[in-house]
């Protein structure tokens, strides 16, 4: 198929066979897994995945690619036309066969929607076993950064509160067509079994983290002035910056604020 990558969909098609099969090995597909691939493109991951799965769902927004995959009529393949930012991953995960194996979400995510999509997927984390994504390398570095690091951010806190994450593969621009102007990386995300925040506490976490990181160079004395009294912040915390506070401490603050 001749398909020109569309900038508005953030399309860059993976073509390096070594990288492709490294990702397939990470996903480790087995026949009865319940898997959805976001943005299959021209099938770099799709066809190797389908060779090991009884069934594979594809989520694609580009109508031309939806038509292409429907015309392929591959056994076990279901094509879903839709926007990943609006897709109900929770309902999809629960729709798997009773005897299905691990539930996984995979894909080479469009870099222009990666952060909002990662936050959107949190709503389904309770019923997903694993997520494996290709993303812009600097986004993955922020995702896995530890407190005290220059890359530690709102994204780091919110995702680490919900997932165990690991940068598992670095991918150069020349692995794609067209080549992006940035480096890429593959991240493995496994929902935390010890996650215990209810909806009210999660929203409190969102608020306090957003406030803390609203001005990165400012001390928390300024950024958390609205919460300081309720949180009984210590002097070291008042003079710290958002990136110096651990994920666990942000979670403690969220529980206090939601009480």
CATH number of the domain at 225, please.
1.10.8.100
pLDDT at 5: 42
Q: What is the mean pLDDT of residues 82-91?
A: 97
Q: How many domains does the chain have?
A: 2
Q: Any residues with CB less than 8 A from the CB of 201 and at least 6 apart, and which?
A: 254, 255, 258
Nearest to 231 by CA among 209, 255, 211: 255
| Residue-range definition of the domain harbouring residue 154 | 7-191
Judge if 211 and 186 occupy the same domain: no
Judge if 209 and 252 occupy the same domain: yes
Domain boundary among the residues 167, 191, 215 is at 191
For residue 2, is it within any domain?
no
DSSP letter at 194 equals T
Coil, helix or strand at residue 94? helix
Judge if 146 and 88 occupy the same domain: yes
Domain boundary among the residues 142, 170, 191 is at 191
Q: Could you read off the pLDDT of 207-254 as tens digits, one per residue?
A: 999 999 999 999 999 999 999 899 999 999 999 999 999 999 999 999
Percent over 90 (pLDDT), the chain: 81
Q: Could you read off the pLDDT of 16-25 as tens digits, one per residue?
A: 889 998 999 9
At residue 99, does pLDDT exceed 60? Answer: yes
For residue 1, is it within any domain?
no
């Amino acid at each position: 198929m001749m398909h020109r990558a569309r900038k508005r969909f953030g399309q860059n098609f993976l073509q390096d066979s070594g990288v492709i099969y490294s990702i397939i090995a990470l996903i480790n597909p087995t026949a009865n897994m319940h898997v959805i691939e976001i943005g299959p493109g021209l099938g770099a991951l799709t066809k190797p995945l389908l060779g090991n799965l009884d069934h594979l769902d594809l989520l694609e927004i580009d109508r031309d690619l939806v038509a292409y995959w429907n015309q392929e009529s591959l056994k076990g393949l279901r094509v879903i036309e839709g926007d990943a930012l609006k897709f109900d991953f929770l309902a999809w995960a629960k729709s798997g066969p009773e005897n299905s194996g691990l539930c996984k979400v995979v894909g080479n995510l469009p870099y222009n929607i990666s952060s909002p999509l990662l936050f959107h997927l949190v709503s389904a984390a309770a019923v997903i076993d694993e997520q494996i994504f290709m993303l812009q390398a600097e986004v993955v570095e922020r995702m896995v950064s530890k407190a005290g690091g220059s890359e530690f951010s709102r994204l780091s806190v919110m995702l680490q509160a919900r997932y165990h994450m690991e940068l598992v593969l670095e991918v150069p621009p020349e692995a794609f067509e067209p080549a992006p102007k940035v480096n890429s990386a593959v991240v493995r995300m496994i929902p935390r079994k010890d996650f215990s925040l209810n909806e009210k506490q999660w929203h409190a976490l969102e608020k306090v983290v957003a406030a803390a990181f609203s001005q990165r160079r400012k001390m928390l004395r300024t950024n958390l002035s609205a919460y300081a009294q309720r949180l009984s912040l210590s002097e070291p915390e008042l003079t710290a910056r958002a990136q110096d506070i651990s994920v666990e401490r942000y979670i403690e603050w969220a529980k206090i604020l939601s009480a």
